[in-house]
Chains A and B, each alone.
Chain A
Amino acid sequence: MLEQSQLHAIESRCTQEAAPRCRTACPLDMDVRAFLDHLAAGNMRDARKLLERHLPLPGIMTAVCDHPCENACLRRDLGGGIAVSALERFCMSAVSTQTKPLIRPPKGQKLAVLGAGLAGLTAAFDISHKGFAVTVYHEGEKEDALRAAFPALDDSTMSEDLRALEKFHVSFVSTVLDESLLARCSEEFGAIFVDASVCSFAPAKDAVDGSTLVWKEKICCGGWTSQTPTGARYASASSQAGDGRKAGITIQRLMTGVSLVAAREGENRENRLHTPLDGVSPLPRVVPAGDAYTEEEARREADRCLRCSCMQCVKECPFLQKYKEFPRIYARKIYNNASVVRGTRTANVIMNGCALCGQCEVICPERFSMADLCLQARQDAVERDVMPASAHEFALEDMAQASGPESAFLLEDQNAVAQGTHGTSMFFPGCQLAASRGNQVLAIYRFLREALPGGVSLYSTCCGIPAHWAGREKLFDEHASILRKDWEACGKPEILAACSSCMAALKKALPEATVIPLWSKIDALIAEPFVCSAPKTMSVQDPCGARHDHEWQRAVRSLAAKAGIQIHEATRAGEESACCGYGGLVWNAQPDLADAMAQKRAGEFSFPILTSCIMCHDRFATETESWHLFDVLPQTANADLHQEKSAPGLSARRAGRAALKEAALEEFLGQKPSNRYDNEPILLRIPDSVQRAMECRYILRQDAVEAVAGIEKSGAKFLNRENNHILGSWRPRNVTFWVEYVVDDDGGFTLINAWCHRMVVAGAIQPATKVIMEEKVHA
């Protein structure tokens, strides 16, 4: 299970929650983006509330701030930084005070501030608002230091803020600021802040600790003037107030005995948020027609804010969009989910919704990988036996069928065997190509046998990727050992893989094997241009499993060029390609989400799609015109009917695999086909509309046939006297199938409807299945 430290490391790679540049530039940590958002929306009161919450002495601060946020603004080169300072002044004048902070009775400890510059007053403001009584020593009048530093500041603003300060147990004492005062205060007060802008005895900036502003023992110092690049000194309001705030935190910690340095990383103002600026057009600053902004002008100016935000991965991925969050939050939810001992695991759906395609990792500037996170969570859930059974059950059954005796076969090159050797290559079509395009698999195999003098075997089975995607590493390892045994028995040939997921699984299962894309081999074997009936301009879908496989991508484009197809590259091609929804078994766990992925990706192409992965093809085919490379290559184009608008259903896929096995063994070994599929125990007619509904419910033809046959045999069924429909149920495994059908005149049956559920109800299943007691009721 993920350790908390690992979680923090993962989380920190997603910068979506990091502060935007305006905020990191502000020493007072002002949430400028939220302020502008309120203004733009016309929520003037909320905007003012925000100023009052973030800024010390808000009247003074907004009047004198030197607004470093405006220089840091990403709009700077796109029409000019947002006029934050002018907007703050507008807000302060347009709306009256909105918050009324609680005045607490003062705590026992007394604190002193030497110097009523902006740093000293900020420190006094922050400390007093935490309930400490503060004495501020100043020379002359208490306003003098501010007047000297900021001559433009008007008296009424100043007196209003200082009066407000006095309500918070801040008292002002006029005296000479010298070292003897400091010595006296050291004895009388718990801690002291020295305002360097007005105290001549204050140390130089580098004599105090930068992170806490501690000068010596319980004395902090800050508020130095700043220097322009040409050497002129000036009072930077934001920097001085920032010092006052930092010292204020230190002094509160001194008073409460908390570590002065712990957990202050947030004060290090780093720009971590990535904000893509592609497609952002310049928009000039709104210049007020009069002296200051009107509300309408202020709203327009605030609306120029880019609302800096990363979300680059989320914009691309329907899965990341589904729960309206971003990876950092998902990581936390998945972690919290895994920590649940007993209770609701709300994030199960999150970890099983990821296609594990890796697009986010490529797009993310910090390389955040949802795939790693979700896969690890699945493995963890499987290990702790809390993975929902339904999530991947059908896919794993499909894997078992594809690698079981009905479908799997290994055909050695008989010419090589006759000479006492093995073929130097092994063609591995993958279970879905075998399911969908059996004739083309055989056609390309014939071609390979002729073209490769070293001999080539044909190994049709599942690569094991469904087990890996489902988080079932033990099952994957067991499957891998079967693959290894067969591969070794064939003399460890190089493997030609026609599916990018197979390539990934085979490289994992057989790390020492040479696994190359089938397309590279074919590209090398077909030297000349050839004629094909495909459209003359197409867009290539790079399968997500091959996003880092440049050789795969090159070979596909090379073959397309030889076919006379001009390639129009889609947005997000190559490494950045998006998944069709097959990856990660989303199609099984969350079919709606998988469909959304297919729709989104299919919509990103402006031309008919050329795919090199059969699942990309089959999932796009229902959305738009899609061609598989086999539909283009001269060796295979005519072997199967190119069905650009449809793909085989789940039952047809299983039958397709079994049919390929029989055809291959008949053609190359002369074995007679068993015609098993022509020998169903009953004659069951399934109308197309019922078949389509069954596909959505993962009910196979075979399930329906077995159910009707079983029900008829046992006689345990219902009869609808209105229309003579028969209804019965059948539970061959962890699912109960219900079939509603009629008996035809010829003794066959026609299926009217079929549905299923997983819950067990006594009396609602066929006793013959003997599974009723599999569920133990928990007390």
Chain B
Amino acid sequence: MGLEPNFTPDGGDWICAKCHVPLEQIKVQALYMHSAFDVILPRCPSCGLTLIPQSLAEGKMAEVEALLEDK
């Protein structure tokens, strides 16, 4: 089992509107300012469309962005 942080949707029953399949928690890479991180995010297992919840964007992600910008 990986140790990557796992972020689920902020609520609701989300599916990929194109492929009509439920999302799965899948490991993806987040890139910023010459750095890369592995995170587990809700993703369409078929087309790969990935959802970034608001709580992640304005929480941890914003924190890390600020940290990297000060590097």
Chain A residues in contact with chain B, CB under 8 A? 342-346, 348-349, 388-391, 715-723, 725-727, 729, 736, 738, 753, 755-764, 775-778
Contacts A345-B70, A390-B69, A738-B54 given; does A761 touch B28 at CB 8 Å: yes
Residue ID in chain A nearest B58 by CB atoms: A755
B20 to A: closest C-beta gap in Å: 9
B29 A761 Cβ-Cβ under 8 A: yes
Contacts A343-B71, A759-B32 given; does A722 touch B12 at CB 8 Å: yes
Most A-side CB within 10 Å, residue of B14, B47, B57, B61: B57
Flag B53-71 by CB within 8 Å of A: 1 or 0 each: 0100110011011110111
A388 surroundings in chain B (CB, below 8 A)? 66, 69-70
Residue ID in chain B nearest A349 by CB atoms: B70
- B interface residue count range (under 10 / 10 to 19 / 20 to 34 / 35 or more): 35 or more
CA distance A738 to B58 in the complex (A): 12
A758 B30 Cβ-Cβ under 8 A: no
Contact of A718 among B28, B51, B54 (CB under 8 A): B51
Cβ < 8 Å to A, chain B residues 24-41: 28-36, 39, 41
CA distance A729 to B57 in the complex (A): 12
New A-B pairs, 10, CB < 8 Å, besides A349-B70, A717-B18, A753-B54: A716-B18, A717-B49, A721-B12, A755-B57, A761-B39, A764-B28, A775-B32, A776-B34, A777-B34, A777-B35
Residue ID in chain A nearest B65 by CB atoms: A758
B34 to A: closest C-beta gap in Å: 4
B15 surroundings in chain A (CB, below 8 A)? 718-719, 721
Contacts A717-B18, A756-B57, A758-B32 given; does A345 touch B50 at CB 8 Å: no
* 26 pairs of residues in contact across A and B, judged by CB atoms under 8 Å: A342-B71, A344-B67, A348-B69, A391-B69, A717-B17, A718-B15, A718-B49, A719-B14, A719-B17, A720-B12, A720-B13, A721-B12, A722-B12, A722-B13, A738-B52, A756-B57, A759-B30, A762-B31, A763-B48, A763-B49, A763-B50, A764-B41, A764-B49, A764-B50, A775-B32, A776-B34
B49 surroundings in chain A (CB, below 8 A)? 716-718, 763-764
A757 B34 Cβ-Cβ under 8 A: no
B24 to A: closest C-beta gap in Å: 12
A764 surroundings in chain B (CB, below 8 A)? 28, 41, 49-52
A762 B12 Cβ-Cβ under 8 A: no
B23 surroundings in chain A (CB, below 8 A)? 718
A343 surroundings in chain B (CB, below 8 A)? 71
B70 A761 Cβ-Cβ under 8 A: no
CA distance A777 to B33 in the complex (A): 8
A757 B57 Cβ-Cβ under 8 A: yes
CA distance A247 to B48 in the complex (A): 79
A115 to B: closest C-beta gap in Å: 60
A763 surroundings in chain B (CB, below 8 A)? 28, 43-44, 48-50
A762 surroundings in chain B (CB, below 8 A)? 28-29, 31, 48, 50
Contacts A720-B13, A721-B13, A775-B33 given; does A757 touch B62 at CB 8 Å: yes
A759 B65 Cβ-Cβ under 8 A: yes
B33 surroundings in chain A (CB, below 8 A)? 775
Contacts A764-B50, A764-B51 given; does A725 touch B12 at CB 8 Å: yes
A345 surroundings in chain B (CB, below 8 A)? 70-71
A715 surroundings in chain B (CB, below 8 A)? 17-18
Contact of A777 among B16, B31, B39, B57 (CB under 8 A): B31
CA distance A349 to B67 in the complex (A): 11
CA distance A346 to B71 in the complex (A): 8
CA distance A760 to B28 in the complex (A): 11
Considering the complex of A and B, which 10 residue pairs feature the smallest CB-CB distances, nearest first? A388-B69, A778-B34, A763-B50, A720-B12, A757-B57, A764-B50, A719-B17, A775-B31, A759-B32, A763-B48
CA distance A775 to B28 in the complex (A): 15
B51 surroundings in chain A (CB, below 8 A)? 718, 727, 764
